[in-house]
Amino acid sequence: MRSFGELGRWMAAATAAAAVLACAGSAGENARAGAAAADPRDIFGVLPALGPHPSLGHHADLFGRFVGTWDADYSFIAADGSVRHKRGEVLFGWILDGYAIQDIFLSYPDDSSGERKMVGGIRYVDPRTDRWTVMFVAPGFNVAIRMEGGAEEDRIVLRGRDPDGVELRWSFNDIQADAFVWRGEVSHDGGRTWRVDEEHHMRRRGPARAG
């Protein structure tokens, strides 16, 4: 038979162990309850911004003028000159307290049994240089690309490389309040020659908005 001292120590240890198990069970229940109560839409309550951050000044205007929704007529041009057309829409909007613009390029399914395709990017400007950086991602295609550039005469030109090292040139052309043409070009000879492999015609949906 245990002594009263040993019995007391044993009961104290058992009580502490029970308390630990109870706390662990309560923490697990709270975690499950928190997961059940979490709203995946919470992020969209803080992500958008109503306009550019004041610190950007006029530097925000280059891409700020595209904020809104655009109907898109996509053209994908193969090396043999054949063209594949798709319909869709493009959306631009300020995010992250107005320090960046989010864009989404969406293409509609070809038929009711298909699914839409969506790619996007985040673009931001360095006010010291007036140069823009675009971080483009297409998770469905396992592609991520960084482009840099800015205004060149009456158009916008961005340059970079694809994951295979091929030189890219993306440009916004024929820019009007309610329309523009986006072109994607590739070069396999160090930029000496370029081939247009994408040309997308955009038409603003609804009235033009200020950037």
**How confident is the model over 53-95, as pLDDT tens digits?**
999 999 999 999 999 999 999 999 999 999 999 999 999 999 9
Bridge partners, 72 (sequence order): 88, 202
111 band by pLDDT with thresholds 50, 70 and 90: confident
CA distance 76 to 63: 24
19 band by pLDDT with thresholds 50, 70 and 90: very low
Burial category of 55 from C-beta neighbours within 10 Å (exposed 0-12, middle 13-18, buried 19 and up): exposed
**Whole-structure pTM value:** 0.79
Percent of the chain at pLDDT > 70 equals 80
Kindly report, residue by residue over 160-203, the tens digit of the pLDDT: 999 999 999 999 999 999 999 999 999 999 999 999 999 999 99
Q: Which amino acid makes up residue 186?
A: V
CATH, domain range 47-204: 2.40.128.20
